[in-house]
Amino acid sequence: MTKYYVKDGFQEKGPFTIREIKKLRLSKFSFVRREDSDLWTQIDLHPEFSKHRTTRVRLAFIALFIFVVGGGLSIFFIAYKPTNLVPEDNFLEETTPQETLIVKDIYNQKVSMAPVEIVFEPTVYKKKLFNEFLKDCNSSGKKSQIMTACNYSNPQVRNKAVTVAGKSPGSFNIGQVCDIYDYCYTNWKYVNDPRGNEIIEYASNTIKNGLNGDCDDFAVLMGAMILAIGGEARINYAQGPEGAHAFTEVNLGQKDFLQIQKYLKERYKKSDISKGVWYKDDLQGNKWLNLDWFASYPGGKYFNHSSGTIYYIMQQYCIDLNK
């Protein structure tokens, strides 16, 4: 009889039979491997377990639907502000799009200007329970995976974030955002997920493995470190002509954006940031700064995309987008 080892977080247990594993009620972010193999597979993607979990999820959704309709709970609203936050790309100064050219030493520039404090109000929404139930981003399973992976309250994530951001001490400021971006960007090593498996690594594990992973691991780590020092970040999963990609944005609020832009231009003056800063507006007036690794610096050009999903980590909320 085939047996499996189980890894939930950092702990490895086993070996167990399939029946014993199903009784453990593991989260779908746990991993399993055969007793005779060294290959770990996310349990939700493993053929022996995915069918069992999918059936349970479908039954849960059916039960919830009956409860909502029968109890008249479709009129229940969770009190937040507007749902239709469909951002548009913005560029602070007009320029013709072109590839970013980066000189190797742009991350070691001395900045005479003091980092500008970022003053923002956390994004809030009005949720309609029935609409939330029908959203693709809520039913795909990726939302809970991203929220769990972005473990910004983890001591290892918090300690790393404050150590890096401590180079620009004080209240949450643009210097701290840049310090975190520079640290992640200059130390990152790209490594693929296993073939056929989409793994979104915990931010704490990415720090532990020495900053190795793919684009969604980078986005999760960036988001978690910003959240760990009092900022607000959101993670984008984007689809475009060049394929799929994940990237993070930080909420700059509604104040002092020109001063923030001035700081960025001085700090990254050896890049092409002198042409302007890329960001997005939401309907509440907040500006979200691009922190994609393809941008090569905070506020660089966006990945070309036509659709996707935005995940708001603090609010446990998502929006499906079509540009």
In tens, the pLDDT along 157-192 reads 999 999 999 999 999 999 999 999 999 999 999 999
Q: Write down the H helix ranges in 25-173.
A: 47-71, 129-134, 136-139, 142-149, 155-165
The domains of the chain, with CATH numbers, are 4-74 (no CATH), 78-322 (3.10.620)
Mean pLDDT computed over every residue of the chain: 79
β-strand partners of 317: 312
pLDDT at 323 (0 to 100): 46
pLDDT at residue 94 is higher than 60: no
Which comes out higher in pLDDT, residue 175 or 132?
Answer: 175
Would you state the pLDDT for residue 30? 67
91: left (phi over 0), alpha (psi -120 to 50) or beta: beta
Amino acid letter for position 130: F
The answer to whether 81 and 125 are in contact (CB under 8 A) is yes
User: Is residue 163 within 8 Å of 176, Cβ to Cβ?
Assistant: no
Distance CA 193, CA 188 (A): 15
pLDDT per residue over 28-63, tens digit each? 556 778 888 777 666 655 666 654 444 554 555 566
Rounded mean pLDDT, 54-80 = 50
CA-derived radius of gyration, the chain: 21
Distance CA 141, CA 152 (A): 20
Lowest average pLDDT, out of 125-129, 210-214, 290-294, goes to: 125-129
Q: Which of 22-26, 73-77, 205-209, 273-277 has the lowest mean pLDDT?
A: 73-77
Helix (H) or strand (E) holding 41: strand 41-42
8 A C-beta contact, residue 81 and residue 126: yes
Q: Which of 49-58, 90-99, 304-313 has the highest mean pLDDT?
A: 304-313
Instruction: State the Cα–Cα distance between residues 245 and 234, nearest whole angstrom.
Output: 14
Decide: 143 and 318 in contact? Cβ < 8 Å: yes
Helix axes 155-165, 215-228, angle to 10 degrees: 80
Confidence at 245, pLDDT banded by 50, 70, 90: very high
For the segment 132-141, the average pLDDT, to the nearest whole number, is 76
Distance (Å, whole) CA 17 – CA 3: 5
